[in-house]
Structure 1
Amino acid sequence: MAARSPAPAKRALLCLVAALAVGSARAQTPTPPNPFDGWDNAYYQIMADELRRIGLNRTVYSSDGHAVGRILDVRTTPDGMHEAAIVRVRRLMGSGQIALPFYRLAKRNGRLVAKDDRASVLSMDRLDVPGASAR
């Protein structure tokens, strides 16, 4: 005896339930983690607040141990997404001012250390300082 097909209404109902099940499974698929999650953001905000209070004029070191310069200011980057330390660079490191985003800084043994080495700092773009003359 041949298998009897369900009534058209039942068939439509089964298709609808199957479509909803597939749609809900896709909706529950986890999104990939964001590299800048809430904990990182909170850490950088705490660091920014600390540097604003007591860290101005504090020395920043390169990853290979060279003193880069001193922090002049703490600002938000132009994209508004990150905080950056404005550092007055020593003459031996190329002079001028650079912006080091906080995700490029870390605290090690009571020092602020950039993730960049001396060669990277020398090649960084310098900030335009209004009123500074070319010497």
Structure 2
Amino acid sequence: MADSVSVVSRMGRDSIVNMSAFTLQPVLIECVTNRLIQYVIKEIREWEIRSRYSIHLLKTHALVKANTKDYLKDIQIQLILNPIIQKLLSIFGSKERIEEQLMSMVFALRGKKPIETGYVCGNIVNIFRQLKVDFDKRCRR
């Protein structure tokens, strides 16, 4: 019996999921975050190539959660949004080309119901904010 308790105890210590608080271990969080970043970049990059309605993660996940404390937003920007922007800059070559790609997404989603667009426009606004692009001015063009 004592062996069973020690085995179960060791399994809990070695687990990637903390069962007492239902939290993920940092290495798993990093892996999931990196995958999210990769797929969001792919959705933006392939917007014109693939069906325009193939956006999934950009639609279903807020890259920066709006209703959270400022220090958490800063962490989300640093760990999620900035790596996305850096990779997009390397893919598109300039801030202006990223703007064009994202604006084509915004224009295609205009007039759609919120259920169809999800977080896409909010995520684009946050990317523009980090790129220091005036989204309102950009929409009036």
Per the normalisation by structure 2, the TM-score is 0.30
Query: Which has a greater percent of helix?
Result: 2
Higher RCO (CA-CA < 8 Å; seq separation 6+): 2
Per the normalisation by structure 1, the TM-score is 0.31
